Amino acid sequence: MSLETTFPTTPPTPPRLPPLRRLAARCMRNPLGGVIAALVLIFGVSCLLSPHFLTGFNMMIMARALAFIGLVTIGQSILMILGELDLSVGAIGGLAGITGGMLMVQAGLNPWLSLVLCLLLGTACGMLNGVLITQLRLHSLVLTIGMAGVYGGAILVATKGVAITGVPVDISFLGRGLVYGVPVPFIVLLACLGVVAFVMVRTPVGRYVYAIGSNPEAARMLGLRVDAIRIAAFATAGFLSALAGILMVARLGTAQPSIGDTWVLAPIAAAVIGGVATTGGLGSPVGAVLGAVIIGIIENIIVLFGISPYWQSVVSGGIVVLAISFDSLARRYLHREA
């Protein structure tokens, strides 16, 4: 009998997962594939449900509405990839819009200079959130709930709950204008998304964001400036929220104290639908904006069917619960299979 040991010449083939598990695994590894498939499905169903959906006018209305929530979603998605949340983004957008209205109407300042000052204000508010969170070692969820009250209270103190009318028409093009039939706010959204996506994919800063979101302590031990990147991310979210607030003022022609009231839950839902992990380290701003498109289509269908707009809040909240639940269940399922 030979004592020689024979070794296999080829590695063993891993066991094949059932079809449903393979689909879940592919979606988790490539979140953009999952959200694009969902978007195509919802778009097709919407076309079948309403003959008014796929019209040029409705597409223009939907693109313009998407621009404001999309800008806030980009900032929120960066923070979620970092493993953070900012629940004050809506209040920052509202505060920037109200400040812009006061500077242009009550102080008589040049409209374009007012816009720049509002963007700086939004950036400063986001930066303040980041500084307090990193220096006081506070949880972002708790801190930004409190700061949302501060910014929202400042709006009411400044306006007494009354809208500021008479915004100069010089800036109306930013909110109502069209370029070859495409709303200007939507073009601004695409430009911001392109810049942020390039930074996240092609620059070291983007890789640092993913590394910190995956394991902040390991990133700190590698010498990354974790606190500085977190502060910069909060400042970026504040800038984008302020930009959305200013564009909304330009669209309405008035500075309403309620601007930004609905910009809290929807961006989180959009990011989760778009594949951004609630635990950080995974996802992309592009996927998050695609998630916002899905929510926008659903809300548009609600309007086309004449359902009360109050149901939009119910739908947004329900989508958040479903998206987060699915994200948690899928990751737990795949972790058990690994």
3-state secondary structure of 255: strand
Residue 137 clears pLDDT 50, i.e. is over it: yes
Question: How far apart, in whole angstroms, are the C-alpha atoms of residue 59 and residue 124?
Answer: 35
Say if residue 179 is exposed, middle or buried (CB neighbours under 10 Å; 0-12, 13-18, 19+).
Answer: exposed
Structure confidence by residue, pLDDT tens digits, 37-88:
888 888 988 899 889 999 999 999 999 999 999 999 999 999 999 999 999 9
Per the CB < 8 A criterion, the answer to whether 138 and 230 are in contact is no
| pLDDT range class, residue 278, cuts 50, 70, 90 | confident
E strand intervals along the chain = 178-179, 182-183
Q: What is the DSSP letter of 104?
A: I
CA distances to 120, 174, 183, 250 from 253, in Å: 21, 11, 16, 5
* Beta carbons within 8 Å of 184's beta carbon, 6+ residues apart: 173, 174, 175, 176, 177, 178
Tell me what pLDDT residue 337 has: 60
Element (H, E) at 114: helix 111-135
Highest mean pLDDT pick, 2-11, 22-31, 245-254, 291-300: 245-254
Q: What is the pLDDT of residue 17?
A: 60
Q: Is the pLDDT score of 16 beyond 70?
A: no
Whose tokens are 């509405």? That residue is: 65
Say if CB 261 and CB 90 are below 8 A apart. yes
pLDDT of residue 14: 56
Q: Output the six-digit token pair for 152.
A: 């929202």
pLDDT for the residue numbered 37: 81
Please state the pTM of the whole predicted model: 0.87
- Answer yes or no: is pLDDT of 3 > 50: no
The rounded percent of the chain whose pLDDT value lies above 90 is 61
Instruction: Name the more confident of 331 and 93.
Output: 93
Query: How much is the mean pLDDT over the chain?
Result: 87
The whole-angstrom distance between residue 61's C-alpha and the CA centroid of its chain comes to 20
The answer, yes or no, to whether residue 2 has pLDDT greater than 70, is: no
d(CA 223, CA 272): 30
Does the pLDDT value for residue 281 go beyond 80?
A: yes
Range in 29-33, 219-223, 243-247, 274-278 with the lowest mean pLDDT: 29-33
User: How far is Cα 124 from Cα 118, in angstroms, rounded to an integer?
Assistant: 10
* Cα 308 from chain centre: 25
